[in-house]
Amino acid sequence: MSSAFKQYEFKAFIQEAIEALGFHEPTPIQQKIIPMIKKGQSAIGQSQTGTGKTHSYLLPLLDGLDMEKQQVQVVITAPTRELAKQIHHEVARILEHTDQALTSKCFVGGTDKQRTIDKLKSQPQVVVGTPGRINDLVKEQALFVHTAKAIVIDEADLMLEMGFIEDVDQIAARMQEGLQILVFSATIPEKLKPFLKKYMENPQYAHIEPKQVQAENIEFILVPKKSRSKVEVLYDVLTAFNPFLAIVFTNTKAKADEVADALLSKGMKVGRVHGGLAARERAKMMKQVRELDYQYIVATDLAARGIDIPGVSHIINYEIPTDLDFFIHRVGRTARAGHSGVAVTIYEPTDEDALNQIEKKGISFTHKEVRNGEWTELTERHKRKNRRPGENEMDVKAKSLVRKPKKVKPGYKKKMKWEMDKIKKRERRINRRNNS
């Protein structure tokens, strides 16, 4: 095992798992979170996908399992069944390195609940699943979570968006006092804070800034809406690209449905992925997406983090996310595994502040528009705003405001020049004030 992980003094099977997983040194989130968990502290970890977040809690929690107790010791909740299965898969990869009787089970919706209950005569030490299904099993008195010493709430902001925080609340309420609570989230929305305050008195906090997107692999394009319908602009962008697989991101479930319906009315075959879909609908949709039945998917940020969609060639930001960290999550869905990708953002004048902040994250846009399937390069959107009017511009404006009198008198040219100079002086003063 890499000497970098030896500082944590993990059990032998965890050390073997780290070696097998090919980990060489802990990531920034692992460096911050692992010591907190090993001390039994509750913590909030804020980091994006791909930072090693999952193993930052799996390694220390699995290391701390009591092998002598055949009871629930750790509960890990995730907002989607797809993410829960991914986490459970990683748990299994670690536990396969022990010869002790350590067990983990994954509980998600869309499966036969009664069959699951029948198989729960023996309690697993590690529970992974979606809050709704775990809560159902607890209510049925089939799963006993009161013995657990730690609960993980992964992708907590998505839990909130999808309405699962109430289920998590009910699960946590059945657990013992002094419970170790570990919350992981890309963002900490205001509406999540009452839950955190209820269960976490003095949590430790670890925030890892989002990585800058590797611009060399992604082409970032800005497309102005101008006076056109936004759906028309989107339609032109999608048809001009003819992508392998494009995800169109909106900020809300209602807007996702609105955009998907508008594209369907134009004869496009469009899938949709958002928290408003029933579990069975989403499972069917994801199967169709993976089988490449759809070329276009309209989605909320659930698809940016909670669900893995392979083969995405294009990302379209129909709306800029309110939390700009989500912009990084969205565009990070393309240009994976060494491939290149394209990220288009359709913008309006009201988006200027958000775009300026995104550019400060190190992203450079090209400014284009598409008409009749043809892309046209536009001048930089900053150019006109930042340019100081030259003398010719001011002369034209001054001449338009100072007209030659119908009846000329001696010295009229001198008077006209004086009035034009006065106007130009005023314009310079205004420009200085605007640019200061």
196-210, 295-309, 315-329: which range is least confident on average?
A: 295-309
- 3-state class (DSSP) for residue 20: helix
Query: What pairs with residue 180 in β-bridges?
Result: 150
Considering the chain, what is the average pLDDT of its residues? 86
Average pLDDT over residues 227-243: 95
Looking at 107-111, 145-149, 261-265, which range is the least confident one?
Answer: 107-111
**Whether the predicted pLDDT of 217 surpasses 90:** no
- For residue 141, what are the CA distances in angstroms to 75, 110, 123, 165, 249? 16, 20, 12, 21, 40
CA separation for the pair 84, 111 (Å, rounded): 14
pLDDT mean over 9-14: 94
pLDDT band at 244 (very low <50, low <70, confident <90, very high): very high
Indicate if the pLDDT at residue 202 is higher than 80: yes
pLDDT at position 192 is 85
The mean per-residue pLDDT over the stretch 76-88 comes to 91
Residue 104 CB neighbours (<10 A):
19
More confident residue, 209 or 116: 116
Is residue 266 within 8 A of residue 399, CB to CB? The reply is: no
Q: Residues 221, 366: contact at Cβ < 8 Å?
A: yes
Instruction: Measure the CA–CA gap between 270 and 259, rounded to whole angstroms.
Output: 10
Average pLDDT over residues 153-164: 86
Secondary structure (3-state) at 196? helix
pLDDT of residue 389: 47
Q: Does the pLDDT value for residue 232 go beyond 90?
A: yes
Residue pLDDT, tens place only, 369-394: 998 888 999 987 766 455 444 545 56
Tell whether the model's pLDDT for residue 36 goes beyond 80.
yes
Q: Given pLDDT bands bounded at 50, 70 and 90, which one contains residue 78? A: very high
218-384, what's its fold?
Answer: Rossmann fold (3.40.50)
CATH of domain 3-207: 3.40.50.300
pLDDT at site 1:
45
pTM for the complete prediction?
A: 0.67
The pLDDT confidence band at residue 355, using thresholds 50, 70 and 90, is very high
Q: What 3-state class would DSSP assign to 54?
A: helix
Domain boundaries, the chain: 3-207, 218-384, 389-435
The runs of H, that is alpha helices, within 332-436 are 352-360, 381-386, 391-401, 412-435
pLDDT of residue 274: 85
Residue 341 has pLDDT above 50, yes or no: yes
Cα radius of gyration rounded to whole Å, the chain: 28
More confident residue, 329 or 24: 24
Flag the least confident range among 117-121, 128-132, 296-300: 117-121
- CB-CB contact of 171 with 75 (8 Å): yes
* HEC assignment per residue over 240-301: HHCCCCEEEECCCHHHHHHHHHHHHHCCCCEEEECCCCCHHHHHHHHHHHHCCCCCEEEECC
- Look at 90 and 419; give whichever has higher pLDDT: 90
Max CA distance (Å), the chain? 110
Scanning the structure block, which residue is given the tokens 């999608």?
238
| pLDDT of the residue at 436 | 44
Closest CA to 272 of 290, 294, 239, 291: 294
pLDDT value at residue 337: 65
Alpha carbons 158 and 264: distance in angstroms, whole number: 27
Percent of the chain with pLDDT over 90: 52
The answer to whether domain 3-207 and domain 218-384 are alike in fold is yes
The yes-or-no verdict on residue 427 having pLDDT over 60 is yes
| CA pair distance 127, 178, nearest whole angstrom | 19
Strand partners, 104: 126
